[in-house]
Amino acid sequence: MTALGRRWSGAQELTVRVADRELKALIYPLLSGEPQVGDRILLNAAAQRLGLGTGGYALAVALPDRLPPDPPPGPGHLVKARYTPLQTIVLGVEEPDSPHFEALREADDLAGLPVVTADLHSALPAVCAAIQHDRPGTRVAYVMTDGGALPLWFSRAVAGLREADWLCGSVTVGQAFGGDLEAVSVHSGLLAAQRVLGAEVAIVIQGPGNLGTGTRWGFSGVACGEAVNAAATLGGRPVGVLRVSEADARDRHRGLSHHSVTAYGRVALAPAELALPDESGAFWDRVRAQSAPLAERHRLRDVSCAGLDEALAASPVPLSTMGRGPTEDRAGFLAAACAGRLALDSR
């Protein structure tokens, strides 16, 4: 390892030399130890070699000459990233050893808590931007599912939103880990967001990155439809982000993405409110026409976009989706922000 780079909560950026070339790498010190310049590092660079995901990083597995100390003994029996060499044991918020066990033992109702769902992690800052613009200080909790990155530490967006107090906390569910709270399922994660973190709005989205194949069902983000079902089952108020794009080169994502049609039209069996920006023009006419079949189950809500461009510009973290920012693909961020605004509207 030749240099240390940026650091944020739970993650450290590195420069490493492999043979005669340098690579950008990422290490999670809580899993693999604190790196020092000169360390030998065992790397997993398979995804980087193929140009697939992981943010362009090789991932540090271990410091073979200086292993991290054993974690101190403590409560917690939830194993995440199970049966992998880096499986980690955490204290589940709903475990008997948890100080929150009694609060969650019989918890079964979200009492109308707004729950915003989206298929891409990049929607998170835009949803938060609208909420904090319209009602500053709102307690917003992020529930991270395991369709993308498993360590929440990978997300610079979450670290920045926490630092800006735009999020009151995070819950990692399923195989995901590294949140302020750990939970077994989306259901218990939502209950923990409300009962433990005091959330007034919860946002459920997979972690950074996703897995897609270009097919209708082979996309990890269709799980946002299951998040709608979980929120409704618990008496929450599901509010869906429609994934739209005016710049994606792939026709299946132009206008309303086919993934939103699948997630909300086929996977979500419970009704949700779906936010539609009240913009005019041929592009938005197309989005409304593509969204119309979803009205058979869901409530399509026109949402005012007044002030949302300013709200997005105030984001404490960069806005980027599929490599595009607001100047390249304003529509996608606007749609996500409208869902955040809708979550505050109880009509």
Amino acid at 245: S
Tell me, what's the pLDDT at 137? Answer: 97
Tell me, what's the pLDDT at 19? Answer: 85
Instruction: Give the pLDDT confidence of 93-103 residue by residue, as tens digits.
Output: 999 999 999 99
Statement to judge: residues 122 and 54 lie in one domain:
no
Print the domain residue range for 118. Answer: 101-343
Given a cut of 70, whether residue 224 has pLDDT beyond it is yes
Averaged pLDDT for residues 271-299: 96
pTM: 0.94
Residue 88 domain-assigned? no
Tell me, what's the pLDDT at 322? Answer: 80
Averaged pLDDT for residues 58-87: 90
Given a cut of 70, whether residue 37 has pLDDT beyond it is yes
Give the list of residues 6+ apart from residue 68 with CB closer than 8 angstroms, or none. Answer: 29, 30, 31, 32, 33, 34
Residue 83 domain-assigned? no
Beta bridge partners of 145: 206
Tell me, what's the pLDDT at 253? Answer: 67
Given a cut of 70, whether residue 252 has pLDDT beyond it is no
Give the list of residues 6+ apart from residue 127 with CB closer than 8 angstroms, or none. Answer: 116, 118, 203, 241, 336, 337, 339, 340, 343
d(CA 199, CA 184): 18
Last residue of a domain, one of 62, 86, 113: 62
Averaged pLDDT for residues 289-314: 97
Residue 86 domain-assigned? no
Statement to judge: residues 23 and 148 lie in one domain:
no
Tell me, what's the pLDDT at 215? Answer: 87
Tell me, what's the pLDDT at 166? Answer: 98
Averaged pLDDT for residues 318-343: 93
Give Cα separations from 116 to 76, 159, 273 (angstroms). Answer: 29, 20, 9
Given a cut of 70, whether residue 249 has pLDDT beyond it is no
Residue 77 domain-assigned? no
**For the chain, how many helices (H) and strands (E)?**
11, 17
Of the listed ranges 49-53, 86-90, 112-116, 225-229, the least confidently predicted one is 49-53
Tell me, what's the pLDDT at 331? Answer: 94
Give the list of residues 6+ apart from residue 94 with CB closer than 8 angstroms, or none. Answer: 100, 101, 104, 183, 184, 188, 191, 192
Which three-class secondary structure state does DSSP give residue 19?
coil
Statement to judge: residues 48 and 190 lie in one domain:
no
Give how many domains the chain has, as a whole number: 2
* Mean predicted lDDT score pLDDT of the chain: 93
d(CA 206, CA 120): 7
Statement to judge: residues 35 and 167 lie in one domain:
no
Residue 163 domain-assigned? yes
Given a cut of 80, whether residue 251 has pLDDT beyond it is no
CATH number, domain of 183, equals: 3.40.50
Buried b (16+ CB within 10 A) or exposed e, 184-205: eebbbbbbbbbbbbebbbbbbb
- Please say whether the beta carbons of 45 and 54 come within 8 A: no
Statement to judge: residues 108 and 43 lie in one domain:
no
Averaged pLDDT for residues 80-85: 93
Neighbours of 146 (CB within 10 A): 19
Residue 38 domain-assigned? yes
Residue 47's pLDDT band (cuts 50, 70, 90): confident
Statement to judge: residues 226 and 284 lie in one domain:
yes
Statement to judge: residues 124 and 8 lie in one domain:
no
Statement to judge: residues 47 and 126 lie in one domain:
no
Averaged pLDDT for residues 318-347: 92
Give Cα separations from 272 to 38, 127, 139, 265, 289 (angstroms). Answer: 53, 16, 21, 11, 18
> Strands, E, within 102-191: which ranges?
114-117, 140-145, 169-172, 181-182
Given a cut of 90, whether residue 147 has pLDDT beyond it is yes
Statement to judge: residues 54 and 171 lie in one domain:
no
> Strands, E, within the chain: which ranges?
3-8, 11-18, 21-27, 42-44, 58-62, 78-80, 88-90, 114-117, 140-145, 169-172, 181-182, 201-206, 237-240, 244-245, 255-256, 273-277, 299-303
Tell me, what's the pLDDT at 73? Answer: 82
Given a cut of 90, whether residue 71 has pLDDT beyond it is no
Cα-to-chain-centroid distance, residue 68: 28
Residue 53's pLDDT band (cuts 50, 70, 90): low
Residue 347's pLDDT band (cuts 50, 70, 90): low
Tokens 């029996």 appear where?
Answer: 77
- Per-residue DSSP letters for 57-103? -EEEEE-TTSPPPPPPP-S--EEESTTSTT-EEE-BTTSTTSTTHHH
Given a cut of 70, whether residue 41 has pLDDT beyond it is yes
Instruction: Give the pLDDT confidence of 236-248 residue by residue, as tens digits.
Output: 999 999 999 987 7
Residue 68 domain-assigned? no
Residue 81 domain-assigned? no
CA dihedral 52, 174, 142, 202 (to 10 degrees): 130
Statement to judge: residues 202 and 314 lie in one domain:
yes
Tell me, what's the pLDDT at 297? Answer: 97
Statement to judge: residues 278 and 166 lie in one domain:
yes
Statement to judge: residues 131 and 41 lie in one domain:
no
Residue 193's pLDDT band (cuts 50, 70, 90): very high
Tokens 């949140």 appear where?
Answer: 179
Averaged pLDDT for residues 191-215: 94
